[in-house]
Structure 1
Amino acid sequence: MSQEPRIAVITGAAQGIGRAIALRLADDGIDVAVNDIPSNEKKLLEVVAEIQAKGRRSIPLIGDVAVEGEVRGFIEQTVSDLGGIDIMVANAGIARSVELIDMSVEDWDCMISVNLRGVMLCYKYAAQQMIKQGRGGRILGASSILGKKGAMTFSSYCATKFAVRGLTQSLALEVSKHNITVNAYCPGLIHTSMTSASTSGQSTDQHGNAVLPVPPSMPGAGPEVIASIVSYLVKPEAYFITGQSIDVNGGRYMS
């Protein structure tokens, strides 16, 4: 990149990993536009206030990443209000636990629309804007430990997260000539409200060990471990890292 990254868009930023990334980038001196769906607007506005309290500019972007017009709209709003886009973190996603033989087409389509189409749309419109600006950029997407290894009752989730890795590699090749890097982060079982909601009465770590068995001493972690990886990958010195899917899982899975 020809200059220090200045303006970031983070999707799914009202809570969990997205919120942690937004606050970390603000600490790094970056202005941050944060996105989430209307039902999370109150939490999103709180994140905006936290970023502004750190002395950085921030705006809320209310919209659904699965809807093309809404993604295009919040990209345009960021450019208009903040002056461009140097970093896109396509973090928004959902998870559901159901066996494939019991899965409805509606459930499948919902997972694909948010976790895969949403990432594709964010990649597309962010890349278009970065190319137009001509100053390079950083694009990141949310894959998962389950984007590298299948798991019982998570077939649709795994399908989307495996696909994000292929999407990331392909776009990385397409935009490298524009000094844009594209990478994905692959969290293990991070302690967030989403993972807690999918544990079916078990603790987060108990559920994780059931999905991907590991020794009981394997550590757990919060969203800050993902934020730290994103913080590095968007820095100018990370220009030589592209097309990668970075594992951040405490050793639950080693590729």
Structure 2
Amino acid sequence: MSEQLGAALVTGAAGDIGQTTAVGFAKAGRDVAVFDRKVELLAETVALCEAEGVKVHAAAVDQTDHDAVEAGVAGAIAALGPITALFANAGYGKFSSLIDQPLKEWHRHVDVNFTGTFAICQAVARSMIDARLGGSIVINASSGASQYSDLLGAYCATKAGVKMLATGLASELGNHRIRVNCVEPGVIETGMTGPMLTGENGDAHREILLSDTPSGRLGIPEDVASVVLFLSSPENSFLTGVSVPVDGGQTIHGHPRWYRTDYRVEHTTEWEVTR
């Protein structure tokens, strides 16, 4: 059975990468469901997608709330019909050393990035199985899934977890012709990374990144969206269980590396911005 074109669902759709991907699905002719923590954050995304002439369903869904996820997916299907593409994009990250990280903050990373991603993938996968149309799930695993970044230990650990989650889902869902893949964006110029790439320290770090990125530039949301759309297309139905770096080659040189320390100094750790 070949995959059929149905509705697409994007989580974290108020952010730059999520919004750009949702609009990309709309341009491809898919009706689109968009989720974020607050529905009012989705107004611009909804308008941009509707401008492409498709139906759009927006909902406030906190993916740490399992009941909200189940209800949100059911609502999207009721509004748009079967979902055949999911971009599980919502995530959370906060700088802290693992030694100093409050347990509440650690749990937040696990709840959003790992358990929340599992919940949305499970709910959508079950609906795909019931619909018998096949489909595609793409998870935003981040370059942190493969490249460790100091002071982002909780983020990297949970992103590595969802990368393995995708592998397991790809194996278990193959008989249902549901493909599961990951993208691993590097430093993408978004509202989230903007503060870290501007100002005295940010400008210096931007220059380091640019000089060490083989593609010669930083990423933009369209770079990620184009790969998600490629992986989600029924035309690429022989791709499953892979994780695609979208980083311009940054991880070749160990980026992103936002902080560094001097390991020659014993019994103390002083972290400074990499520049």
TM range (shorter): over 0.9
Which residue is equivalent to 1:43?
A: 41
Q: Does the alignment pair 1:188 with 2:181?
A: no
Q: Secondary structure at the match of 1:86?
A: strand
Q: Secondary structure at the match of 2:26?
A: helix
Q: Which amino acid aligns with 2:25?
A: L
Q: Which amino acid aligns with 2:202?
A: S
Q: Does the alignment pair 1:22 with 2:19?
A: no
Q: Which amino acid aligns with 1:48?
A: V
Which residue is equivalent to 2:269?
A: none
Which residue is equivalent to 2:261?
A: none
Which residue is equivalent to 1:244?
A: 242
Which residue is equivalent to 1:34?
A: 34
Q: Which amino acid aligns with 1:154?
A: L
Which residue is equivalent to 1:10?
A: 10
Which residue is equivalent to 1:87?
A: 85
Q: Which amino acid aligns with 2:75?
A: Q
Q: Secondary structure at the match of 1:72?
A: helix
Q: For each residue in 1:39-79, what CA deviation from the matched residue of structure 2 results, as whole angstroms up to 9, or x when unmatched?
A: xx333022112111110110111110111011101100011
Q: For each residue in 1:196-247, what CA deviation from the matched residue of structure 2 results, as whole angstroms up to 9, or x when unmatched?
A: 245695437816958x993697310210100000111111121111111111
Ranges in structure 2 where 5+ consecutive residues have no aligned partner: 255-275
Find the aligned partners of 1:168 and 1:205 in 2 and give their Cα distance.
36
CA 1:204 to 1:232, structure 2 compared with 1: closer, same or farther past 3 Å? farther
Q: Which amino acid aligns with 1:188?
A: G
Indicate which of 145, 148, 160 corresponds to 1:147: 145
CA 1:49 to 1:253, structure 2 compared with 1: closer, same or farther past 3 Å? same
Q: Secondary structure at the match of 2:83?
A: coil
Give the CA RMSD over aligned residues: 2.2
CA contact (8 A) 2:179 2:239 kept: yes
Find the aligned partners of 2:35 and 2:251 in 1 and give their Cα distance.
30
Q: Which amino acid aligns with 2:89?
A: N
Indicate which of 115, 118, 143 corresponds to 2:116: 118
Which residue is equivalent to 1:173?
A: 171
CA contact (8 A) 2:34 2:58 kept: yes
CA 1:233 to 1:208, structure 2 compared with 1: closer, same or farther past 3 Å? farther
Find the aligned partners of 2:203 and 2:140 in 1 and give their Cα distance.
20
Matches within 5 A, 1:215-226: 218-226=216-224
| Identical-pair percentage | 34
TM-score, L = length of structure 1: 0.92
Find the aligned partners of 1:118 and 1:133 in 2 and give their Cα distance.
23
Q: Which amino acid aligns with 1:136?
A: G
TM-score, L = length of structure 2: 0.86
CA 1:200 to 1:156, structure 2 compared with 1: closer, same or farther past 3 Å? farther
Find the aligned partners of 2:74 and 2:203 in 1 and give their Cα distance.
38
Find the aligned partners of 2:55 and 2:242 in 1 and give their Cα distance.
30
Q: Give the number of equivalent residue pairs.
A: 252
Q: Which amino acid aligns with 1:115?
A: N
Q: Which amino acid aligns with 1:6?
A: G
Q: Which amino acid aligns with 1:168?
A: A
Ranges in structure 1 where 5+ consecutive residues have no aligned partner: none
Matches within 5 A, 1:197-236: 197=195, 202-203=201-202, 206=205, 209=208, 214=212, 218-236=216-234
Q: Which amino acid aligns with 2:11?
A: T
Q: Secondary structure at the match of 2:138?
A: strand
CA 1:220 to 1:206, structure 2 compared with 1: closer, same or farther past 3 Å? same
Q: Secondary structure at the match of 1:138?
A: strand
Find the aligned partners of 2:174 and 2:149 in 1 and give their Cα distance.
33
Q: Secondary structure at the match of 1:181?
A: strand
CA contact (8 A) 2:215 2:248 kept: no
